[in-house]
Structure 1
């Protein structure tokens, strides 16, 4: 009979976070990438412009470049007459000089020719051959964007640590940069363990299930700025898991392994981490629900984290402990989504002594407020999180939440709004058709939970 280990002491949620903070030693490397591949990356250098932007005086509108003093006194009754001597188009500057009594037609973005110091809008003029009538006076500098007024040569345009989005990449292009130094994404090795697991796309034999966690965890890592490497499924075998972890430690910055983390006879991850190196296991078991079998280990100054095998447990513990860690490694701020105030839709019982992260769906009530309904499926079901809008945290010392009690819902995504309609009950093809028709009618937000017969 294989050895079974009981959880001797459950760490608190706060203790796990403190241990991660205490043992954190990762220092990111820097790499250079083309700006077209820099979206979502974190800048690793201060960027100084080597050029003025714009590098020349340019017209802000279609009109005529001229000398401002030539227009003084012009109005609708007494227009000023000037001679049109040429045209300046964007990318094709006028090659001459604007003297007293002359004007050059200019397009938006075109170079202001030498001698001119203002632009009058085309709407305030009338052209008759090479004669221009100006019906409005303009002061010097009017409708001209001067060289270097957007960005001056030598100016710091972006600072190290900036998250690069479309606007920042556009600014890099504006100053002529084609490549930029960014923080290298932390490389995260992702394993799933379990003799029952099968890679999606393969036949599913009796007693087998598809690997879920490799994909939910790896896509979560992508969202958090990491570089996930899915390494497949390992059997619940000590030597196989040990070999996989040791190989991953050679090149990965962080190792995540889901499954085989509990205290059962077939759960060996905690033993493997102890064998892999020192200090080994820092935490085995957390006072939370779901997520009790969470493991935190450290080998060669690299974290090895064991996530529970149940999909909801894996994602909740990932979000609570791993997401902040990876985002810090990637140079990103911890994701803090705005909580929603709601009232709990039914009475809830919570286990004393464990922090309960309860997945809920959020639905509008008749008064325009929000109701939070617990998702009826458990942590073993991936549909629990796919149907949940967020979760509520129930403290360790609270056993009951009464119906109507106010709670804070921590959303899984920013911008959450309560659903217009909630549907909870047995699966019904007729209900599927009705809900599909409602969605096509407008911007209805509908949540549903198929719970089977409760009678």
Structure 2
């Protein structure tokens, strides 16, 4: 029987810290690889350069509204409320149309909003109902929005439509962005089959996947990788064979920046992933101090980080948030620190059922021994719905069910709850939760 007594168990924070330290270059954040792309293809990408204005905006005095342009000299010396006689005014000489954002017509310096103007049918003459308050009223001077050389957008932001508009306003049609991290996904397991394997309920013996499990984690990995600005590289399902796993990892490391190995570090007779990784590279940890997701692992092979996830998609989902997202953020030049949101606990989390020992004091055979070491901290991942409360704060309500269950679909956040009862939160306590659908 294989020996698992030497397994390294780390907290989530320590595991992430150690993997990021290996990724760092020259004692600091690893410099992301750079792509240059057209601005209209940059949505969701991470800006890799500071954007400075190429010119003053506006670059000449411009009109601030739909109006007519006039000369302030016509209004000087008039009594308050008095208006000049415009009966002899001629378009192009004494006034001109001036619309929002356009340069003020030559020789005109002030504007009157069009709602205070009556224009003749031939659009050559005007009557005005209000006078401007001062010279240059209704206009914007050159550089009033920003000056040439002003910093418009700082690097490191995720480009959304409004940010793209700012960049375009500064004079850029193409920009530098962090290259998309390439994430390879390897699912291992003799029990796995593709979801497109047919099933005939009246003839199960003809079902190619009888006794098998549909592989579903590729869907959650791909969705998260692409939402987080990466490129998903799928591999075929790999059987539980040491050489097959090793060959897949070698190939994945040659084509990807990060490898997600869907095998974790469980102790089944066919679970070879940890042994394979130990022979190929450096193990950061075999297990982490939370459940579900206890059998999550980290390793490095050929300078490529390997994230080992376990379990069905419900548990794999949040462990990807825990362990894949920080690496992707680091490669994109972003802060990998998780975003914790304070919320008031609406009601206490339900107690978990614990199998009691039999009459002899021995545990039942199906009861998994505690993985919590003496004086150690272990966490249970509990799901909640996060909503606005009546007092204007956020309220977290526990959701019953297990990860992946139908009840769990309404949960939009989760909480790492200390298993130590003395540290468990009570109703009304403020807890810090994380969004289930984490983003960059």
Secondary structure of 2:235 counterpart: strand
Secondary structure of 1:113 counterpart: coil
Q: Distance in 1 between matches of 2:387 and 2:178?
A: 41
Q: How large is the RMSD of aligned CA atoms in angstroms?
A: 3.1
Task: Please report how far the alpha carbon of residue 404 of structure 1 lies from its aligned counterpart in structure 2 after TM superposition.
Answer: 4.5
Q: Paired residue for 2:22?
A: 23
Equivalence map 1:313-332=2 (5 Å): 313-332=315-334
List alignment gaps of at least 5 residues for structure 2.
Answer: 25-29, 200-208, 355-369, 373-377
Q: Distance in 2 between matches of 1:352 and 1:371?
A: 28
Q: Paired residue for 2:27?
A: none
Equivalence map 1:328-367=2 (5 Å): 328-333=330-335, 334-342=337-345, 343-344=347-348, 346-348=350-352, 353=372, 354-361=378-385
Distance 1:84-1:28 versus aligned 2 partners, 3 A rule: same
Q: Distance in 2 between matches of 1:263 and 1:346?
A: 29
Q: Paired residue for 1:232?
A: 236
Equivalence map 1:168-183=2 (5 Å): 168-183=163-178
Q: Paired residue for 1:6?
A: 4
Task: Please report how far the alpha carbon of residue 224 of structure 1 lies from its aligned counterpart in structure 2 after TM superposition.
Answer: 2.6
Q: TM-score, normalised by structure 2?
A: 0.80
* Partners of 1:65 and 1:119 within 8 A in 2: yes
* Partners of 1:256 and 1:307 within 8 A in 2: yes
Secondary structure of 2:152 counterpart: strand
* Partners of 1:337 and 1:414 within 8 A in 2: no
Distance 1:402-1:256 versus aligned 2 partners, 3 A rule: closer
Equivalence map 1:73-92=2 (5 Å): 73=78, 78-81=83-86, 83-86=88-91
Task: Please report how far the alpha carbon of residue 111 of structure 1 lies from its aligned counterpart in structure 2 after TM superposition.
Answer: 2.7
More strand as a share of residues: 1
Q: Distance in 2 between matches of 1:365 and 1:165?
A: 29
Distance 1:358-1:135 versus aligned 2 partners, 3 A rule: closer
Task: Please report how far the alpha carbon of residue 345 of structure 1 lies from its aligned counterpart in structure 2 after TM superposition.
Answer: 5.2
Work out whether 1:268 is the aligned partner of 2:290. no
* Partners of 2:401 and 2:408 within 8 A in 1: no
Q: Paired residue for 1:398?
A: 421
Task: Please report how far the alpha carbon of residue 311 of structure 1 lies from its aligned counterpart in structure 2 after TM superposition.
Answer: 2.4
Q: Paired residue for 2:103?
A: 111
Distance 1:48-1:366 versus aligned 2 partners, 3 A rule: closer
Equivalence map 1:41-440=2 (5 Å): 41-72=45-76, 73=78, 78-81=83-86, 83-86=88-91, 98=93, 102-128=94-120, 130-138=124-132, 139-204=134-199, 205-259=209-263, 261-276=265-280, 278=281, 280-333=282-335, 334-342=337-345, 343-344=347-348, 346-348=350-352, 353=372, 354-361=378-385, 372-377=397-402, 379=403, 381=404, 383=406, 385-398=408-421, 404=427, 406=429, 408=431, 410-413=433-436
* Partners of 1:79 and 1:136 within 8 A in 2: no
Distance 1:401-1:182 versus aligned 2 partners, 3 A rule: closer
Count of residue pairs brought into register by the alignment: 396
Task: Please report how far the alpha carbon of residue 146 of structure 1 lies from its aligned counterpart in structure 2 after TM superposition.
Answer: 2.4
* Partners of 1:261 and 1:309 within 8 A in 2: no
Q: Distance in 2 between matches of 1:35 and 1:134?
A: 44
Q: Give the stretch that moved more between structures: 401-410 or 49-58.
A: 401-410
Q: Distance in 2 between matches of 1:404 and 1:135?
A: 65
Q: Distance in 2 between matches of 1:283 and 1:49?
A: 47
Q: Distance in 2 between matches of 1:68 and 1:79?
A: 11
Deviations 1:168-196 (A, max 9, x none): 21122223321101111211111111122
Deviations 1:104-157 (A, max 9, x none): 122333331111110112232334464433333321111112233223233332
Q: Distance in 2 between matches of 1:258 and 1:221?
A: 14
Distance 1:127-1:36 versus aligned 2 partners, 3 A rule: closer
Distance 1:306-1:371 versus aligned 2 partners, 3 A rule: closer
Q: Distance in 2 between matches of 1:260 and 1:64?
A: 71
Deviations 1:400-439 (A, max 9, x none): 9598474626243589xxxxxxxxxxxxxxxxxxxxxxxx
Q: Distance in 2 between matches of 1:49 and 1:252?
A: 36
Q: Give the stretch that moved more between structures: 363-372 or 40-49.
A: 363-372
Deviations 1:233-286 (A, max 9, x none): 11111111111110111121111111253122100111111222x3x2221122
List alignment gaps of at least 5 residues for structure 1.
Answer: 88-97, 416-455
